[in-house]
Amino acid sequence: MRRASTHDAIVIGAGPAGSSLALALARRGWAVAVVEKSVFPRRKVCGEYISASNLALLDQLGIGDAWRAEAGPEIRRVGLFSAETSIEAPMPGARSGPAAGDGFGRALGRDILDTLLLDAARSAGADVFQPCRAVAIE
């Protein structure tokens, strides 16, 4: 394991943004360290929905196929609920671009998404430190 001082970049936080950054830098030959306070996989409260327009990015990051294999069914309807009132409508489909055929977004737990991205960064050469906390920058 390399010491922190030998890295070109230190990414604090291995969520989607941090892991994507670490992956991109590692693919470009940077020595990258990822510091994450939690051990993955971990549950995270969020909507867990990824729109079809983002699937091209997941493909570029190299996790598109794994994401498709794990994600739930396409979300084809949207609803708003308030007390006894509800409104439903069909979702608009994205039928063009690099992710054609992925016309609708899907849901996938952050525990799986975050792990897919962090594993891709690690496979690209990033050093992952978890659980580990950054306590100071010098």
**What pLDDT digit, counting tens, does each position of 73-100 carry?**
988 888 999 999 999 998 876 454 444 4
**What pLDDT digit, counting tens, does each position of 94-112 carry?**
454 444 456 788 999 999 9
Do 77 and 95 belong together in one domain?
A: yes
Identify the domain containing residue 135 by its residue range.
Answer: 1-45+110-138
Res 136: pLDDT: 82
Domain count, the chain: 2
Do 82 and 126 belong together in one domain?
A: no
Question: Of 31-45, 86-100, 123-137, which one has max mean pLDDT?
Answer: 123-137
Contact 52, 103 (CB under 8 A): yes
